[in-house]
Amino acid sequence: MKKLLITIFVFTFAFLPCFAGDIQLTDYSENSNWLSKPLKNPHQADVFYIYPTVCTAQDNTNLCKVDDSQMREAAKNVIKLQAEAFDTVANIYAPFYTQYNFRAFAYSNYEKIQQDTKNNVQGLSDIYRALDYYFKNLNQGRPFILVSHSQGSGIMLIVLSDYMKKHPKYYKNMVAAYVIGYPVTKEYLKENPHLKFAKKSNDTGVIISYDVQSPDKSGINVLQAENQLAINPINWKRSQRLAKAKDNLGSLDEKTLKITTPGIADARVNKKLGVVICSTADVNTYEIPLPELFGKGSFHGQDFQFYFLNLRENAKVRIKKFTH
């Protein structure tokens, strides 16, 4: 379980926000460069998913390139725990991309990680080129949801602030963006007035974000920022009202991939910290075992699994609102 939890830590060329060095132009017309690319599209909406940090190479590799075999295999596991929450309501598209090794973030902080994400020009090039190909060849005008976690969410915030701003014809079809496990701050929203944070269960064109921790969380948290926002993934409110575990629609067990109903996790927003507090899950069982990144008591690796069916139902609600 520890190995699996570690793997889910998370985290057109001209439109890249910055450039440096040699950039490989990854060809997303090749099916091999997609983690998920459906042959058919039975649903009226899509999901475009950016996976979290699954690069865990034990050598001195700082980046896992787009074709890294270890990263690709780990991504195949993590998509089952995250994006497949949406597979009954949307068609799942997910490109492989270049990302940092999880060790690159040890004993770091949010500001440095944010800058490092911007400096990953190869990873940004991969995602931008995948988006270009997706919208021009695969989307066919369907409404879409953006989904990401941890390092993937750091990249997704750049997609929202830069790529979507420069592509309003695409952005107008965005149902919502589930940017989970990474700070979405008041300052970020102020800098990007075309974006807004969710306030309720059925608003559209919004960002949904939260990160989960225990009431007794202690120590470092490299993905903690001042003035970050969170919404409750059970009642979909930003108030500090407790949503009880009995109202949780279902949690996913990452070992068996079976769903427990009702779910095992309650949820309460802590507005001061901008996180979701879960008091019903056992810390020793579910905390992410990366103390150099998250200290003690972080449920960062369970952000999707704890509220698996709530995410599915909420996407269904938002798609219905968007399309009617």
- Exposure string for 195-233, b = 16+ CB within 10 A, e = fewer: bebbeebbbbbbbbbbbbbbeebeebbbbbbeebbbbbb
Better-scored residue on pLDDT, 106 or 8? 106
The DSSP element (H or E) to which 144 belongs, if any, is strand 144-149
Distances (CA, A) of 74 to 7, 57, 68, 77, 278: 7, 11, 10, 5, 27
Give the range of the structural domain holding residue 97, as residue numbers without chain letter. 2-323
pLDDT interval class at 22 (50, 70, 90): confident
Angle of helix 110-119 relative to helix 121-133, nearest 10 degrees, comes to: 60
Average pLDDT over residues 250-258: 97
Close Cβ partners of 187 (under 8 Å, ≥ 6 residues apart): 227
pLDDT of residue 12: 34
pLDDT at 112: 94
Q: In the predicted model, is pLDDT for residue 292 greater than 70? A: yes
Q: What is the count of structural domains for the chain? A: 1
Determine the average pLDDT of the residues in 261-279: 98
What span, in angstroms and rounded, lies between the C-alpha atoms of 67 and 170? Answer: 28
Coil, helix or strand at residue 302: helix
pTM: 0.94
Q: What is the mean pLDDT of residues 52-77?
A: 92
* Position 57 confidence tier, pLDDT thresholds 50, 70, 90: confident
Task: Give exposure, 114-144, as e/b (b: 16+ Cβ within 10 Å).
Answer: bebbbebbbbbbbbbbbbbbbbeebbeebbb
| Sequence-distant (≥ 6) Cβ neighbours of residue 282 within 8 angstroms | none
Tens digit of pLDDT for each residue in 194-215?
999 999 999 999 999 999 999 9
Q: Above pLDDT 90, what percent of the chain?
A: 91
User: How far apart are alpha carbons 96 and 26 in whole angstroms?
Assistant: 10
80-134 residue pLDDT tens: 999 999 999 999 999 999 999 998 999 999 999 999 999 999 999 999 999 999 9
